[in-house]
Amino acid sequence: MQLQLQQLLPVYFDEAPRHTSEVWRRDLSFSKGEYVKIVAPSGSGKTSLMHFLYGLRNEYSGNIVYNNQNLRNYSAEDIAGYRKDHVSIVFQNMRLFPEQTVFENLELKRQLNPFHPVEKIAEMAQRLGIGNKLSSKSRICSYGEQQRVAIIRALMQPFDFLLLDEPFSHLDEVNSQNAMQLMLEEAKLRNAAIIFADLERIDYFPYTRLFHL
């Protein structure tokens, strides 16, 4: 399985980034099992890139190709299947259901296409220090707790590619490393790739390729 970027550029960018970016207006191919780090300063289009790869937005020129199929040609059903079976994401802004409990947020995701049994929810929550929050509504959790919920939610499904958009912006060093270790273990279980976009390099992410956006 490969995820290919072909001369990609957001339509709201001018052509200037093509001269300095190692991603925009390039031909790139990512394969299962790779760990890709994208260093992306503010304003460089990091979140846009993650949304494009997830099939959430399509305001770009160029193409994104998954398994030899252009995402532009996907129907709504194709995109739903792509997200359910092949690509998972940790959004920068979490996107939890605020009135649902932490457990409900995780179980709703798990039920769409279970990779783990329901017992894994409590195990992961305990491991990331939010085991006592499962019955709390997500809106009353701190940003750091919500971020850990979002990370666990992304790990409930099968995936070939795990997209990370500043996944540790509300976490301290210890919690960030714990969460990173969990994601690495889960990616290894699936022989999946991780594409990790952040403002700077993260020493405890063992990237195999590094790009500057």
pLDDT exceeds 80 at position 19: no
pLDDT exceeds 80 at position 28: yes
3-class secondary structure per residue, 11-41: CCCCCHHHHCCCCCCCEEEEECCCEEEEECC
pLDDT digits (tens, 9 = 90+) for 111-167: 999 999 999 999 999 999 999 999 999 999 999 999 999 999 999 999 999 999 999
pLDDT digits (tens, 9 = 90+) for 56-70: 999 999 999 999 999
What is the number of alpha carbons within 13 Å of residue 187 lying toward its C-beta? 28
Local structure of 131: helix, strand or coil: helix
Mean pLDDT of all residues in 27-54: 96
pLDDT exceeds 90 at position 17: no
pLDDT exceeds 70 at position 18: no
- The distance between the two most distant Cα atoms of the chain, rounded to a whole number of Å, is 50
pLDDT at 20: 85
Q: What CA–CA distance (Å, rounded) separates 4 from 8?
A: 10
Report whether 209 contacts 37 (CB < 8 A). Answer: yes
Q: Average pLDDT of the chain?
A: 96
Q: Encode burial over 6-33: b for 16+ CB neighbours within 10 A, e otherwise.
A: eebbbeebeeebeeebebbbeeeebeee
Mean pLDDT of all residues in 26-36: 97
Topology annotation, domain 33-58+75-212: Rossmann fold (3.40.50)
Q: Where are the domains of the chain?
A: 33-58+75-212
What pLDDT band is residue 86 in, cutting at 50, 70 and 90?
A: very high
pLDDT exceeds 90 at position 16: no
pLDDT exceeds 70 at position 37: yes
Q: What CA–CA distance (Å, rounded) separates 164 from 10?
A: 19
Verdict on whether the full-model pTM lies above 0.75: yes
pLDDT at 14: 79
pLDDT exceeds 90 at position 182: yes
